[in-house]
Structure 1
Amino acid sequence: MNFPTPVLATGLLMANAASARTSPAPNQWNGKQCAVVLTYDDAIDVDLDNVVPALDSAKFRGTFYLIGSSPVVMKRLPEWRRAAQRGHELGNHALFHPCDGSLPGRSFVKPDHDLHTYTVGRAVDEIRANNTLLTAIDGKTARTFAYPCGDLQIGGVKFYDQLKNDFVAARGVSPGLQTAAQVDLSNVDAYSINGQNGQYMIDLVKQAQASHTLLVFLFHGVGGGHSLNVALPAHRQLLRYLKAHEKEIWVAPMVEVAEKIRTEQR
């Protein structure tokens, strides 16, 4: 799957941070300098084998965007349920992960699940069906959505407009750091991680701390399991930094951070 290339230039990162307000609104991040959300896409084995144990060990909670049709959901459903019971969010990544096959670099898209040939009604129905599945797993109704492949539209229509009452927020794939007032809850910015080292991710966290902004990480493979991957040592290095600075950094699932943002924006 192709996603926008994460911002690598330090100068551009500094510009993004400088564009955000440097004075945080009172308590916008639970009284801390910034918020960091760790998200993991596609419901793959390494989520349960590598990521959940790592987060649990650090006493952090992440957001796992599940594709309802993934065999890893069916085969390991009790483990997903236990992860949810420990506070991890099971987010909605659609029932079949449809992507727009008409776009460049989308040869991996199967005809049956080509978003380009979907109707808006079909996309909405499948996403709601996935919500039903997720509720059956974790018993929760408040959750967030992640756009498969970052695709927002079908035939020029933003399909999420019909789903805003079903979710607290939707995560996109465009990189950016924003204050609570600046966040678009229908397309929350996120930094896609694919091969970057631990220091790159820590530098992003430092930018968020300095600018009092929200930083969302978008992971796929962690220590393998996906063509988009971050090495286990790099992921571990990020978690160690977050743990060492947990008094200054609010690390929470997307649904909790989005609910806080919604309150701040009222």
Structure 2
Amino acid sequence: MKTPLLLLPALLGLGAVAPSQAQTTSVWNNKQCAVVLTYDDAIDGNLDIVVPALDSVKLRGTFYLIGSSPVVAKRLPEWRRAAQRGHELGNHALMHPCDGSLPGRDFVTPDNDLSKYTLYRAVSEVRANNTLLNAIDGKTARTFAYPCGDLTVGGVKFYDQLQNDFVGARGVTSGLQTPAQIDLTNIDAYMINGQSGDYLVDLVKQAQKSHTLLVFLFHGVGGGHGLNVDLKAHRQLLRYLKAQEKNIWVAPMVDVAAKVKASQQTAAGKR
């Protein structure tokens, strides 16, 4: 049977769109989207509340550890066990330096003021933290998270010297992105501080509809940090992710970034 001419534009349009969507979902393990749960600063609540909560629903997250944190030093065996269960121990720098010259940075001390760092010191401290993390989990592939989202030392992007040390780096700019849109040197993330469970779930639904990557940036869960999300809200998010596990790929940042990197390299090779 001949195809009516009026239908040809629609059919051609479908042919143009379908491969793109198929390529995107293949990066997300043939699911609608990818969700990454990240937790910053190596606080007690990560081990006391978050890891058990994730383990209870068999989801895996990324914990960005500050190497100098007392919670790292005092609880090494517990961090090691978390890594053994599939959670990523990410790099949040050795001293968590932030740019004290920026507005609202009264909390920055002279000892960890990134604006007073040399480029060499910034890079060296991140690499020293990688050595520590490797001693804990035995892994060489991991991701980095910029302390305070600060990217530069003296106007120079210090991560440029670290790209071979990591699979990717998480930033603090909110956004949902397709694999092609993602900048692996500064991956978008939604910082959560006091938002409701409905808000968290709605973000996931938006990612499902747009076939994009959604990264959550948590600090305290149920307390323990100035930036915090309510336990009920966090639990509501985990319940939704578990219920939708056939449609949503929930994985540590290192796994998702590796898939994105491979897809971008493949796309670049076809140009």
TM-score by length of 2: 0.90
User: For residues 51 and 24 of structure 1, what CA distance do their matches in structure 2 show?
Assistant: 33
Shift of 1:22: 8.4
Whichever structure has more helix as a proportion of its residues is 2
Number of residues paired by the alignment?
Answer: 246
Report the residue type matching 1:62 in the other structure: G
- The residue correspondences of 1:227-242 to structure 2 (distance < 5 A) are 227-242=226-241
> Which residue in 1 is equivalent to 2:48?
49
- The residue correspondences of 1:133-144 to structure 2 (distance < 5 A) are 133-144=132-143
Shift of 1:24: 4.7
User: For residues 69 and 53 of structure 2, what CA distance do their matches in structure 1 show?
Assistant: 22
> Which residue in 1 is equivalent to 2:7?
none
User: For residues 80 and 23 of structure 1, what CA distance do their matches in structure 2 show?
Assistant: 38
Shift of 1:23: 2.9
User: For residues 28 and 88 of structure 1, what CA distance do their matches in structure 2 show?
Assistant: 20
Report the residue type matching 1:63 in the other structure: T
> Which residue in 2 is equivalent to 1:244?
243
Report the residue type matching 1:103 in the other structure: L
1:173 and 2:172 are equivalent in the alignment: yes
User: For residues 126 and 230 of structure 1, what CA distance do their matches in structure 2 show?
Assistant: 30
Does the CA-based 8 Å contact 1:176-1:215 persist in structure 2?
yes
State the SS of the aligned residue for 2:142.
Answer: coil
Report the residue type matching 2:194 in the other structure: G
Report the residue type matching 1:170 in the other structure: A
1:89 and 2:88 are equivalent in the alignment: yes
State the SS of the aligned residue for 1:95.
Answer: coil
1:114 and 2:117 are equivalent in the alignment: no
- The percent identity for this pair of structures is 78
> Which residue in 1 is equivalent to 2:21?
23
Return the structure number with greater relative CO, CA threshold 8 A, min gap 6.
1
C-alpha RMSD of matched pairs (Å): 1.1
Deviations 1:76-130 (A, max 9, x none): 1100000000000000000000000000000000101100000111000000000
Report the residue type matching 1:29 in the other structure: W
User: For residues 24 and 116 of structure 1, what CA distance do their matches in structure 2 show?
Assistant: 44
User: For residues 73 and 100 of structure 2, what CA distance do their matches in structure 1 show?
Assistant: 26
Which one has the largest radius of gyration?
Answer: 2
State the SS of the aligned residue for 1:227.
Answer: coil
> Which residue in 2 is equivalent to 1:15?
none
Report the residue type matching 2:93 in the other structure: A
1:71 and 2:70 are equivalent in the alignment: yes
Q: 1:66 to 1:244 in 2, by over 3 A?
A: same
> Which residue in 1 is equivalent to 2:223?
224
User: For residues 241 and 164 of structure 1, what CA distance do their matches in structure 2 show?
Assistant: 34
User: For residues 153 and 133 of structure 2, what CA distance do their matches in structure 1 show?
Assistant: 24
> Which residue in 2 is equivalent to 1:17?
none
State the SS of the aligned residue for 2:23.
Answer: coil
Report the residue type matching 2:107 in the other structure: F
User: For residues 93 and 24 of structure 1, what CA distance do their matches in structure 2 show?
Assistant: 34
State the SS of the aligned residue for 1:264.
Answer: helix
Structure 1: which 4+ aligned runs deviate by more than 2 Å?
A: 21-24
Report the residue type matching 1:91 in the other structure: G
Shift of 1:155: 1.1
Does the CA-based 8 Å contact 1:36-1:205 persist in structure 2?
yes
Report the residue type matching 2:41 in the other structure: D
Q: 1:49 to 1:109 in 2, by over 3 A?
A: same
> Which residue in 1 is equivalent to 2:258?
259
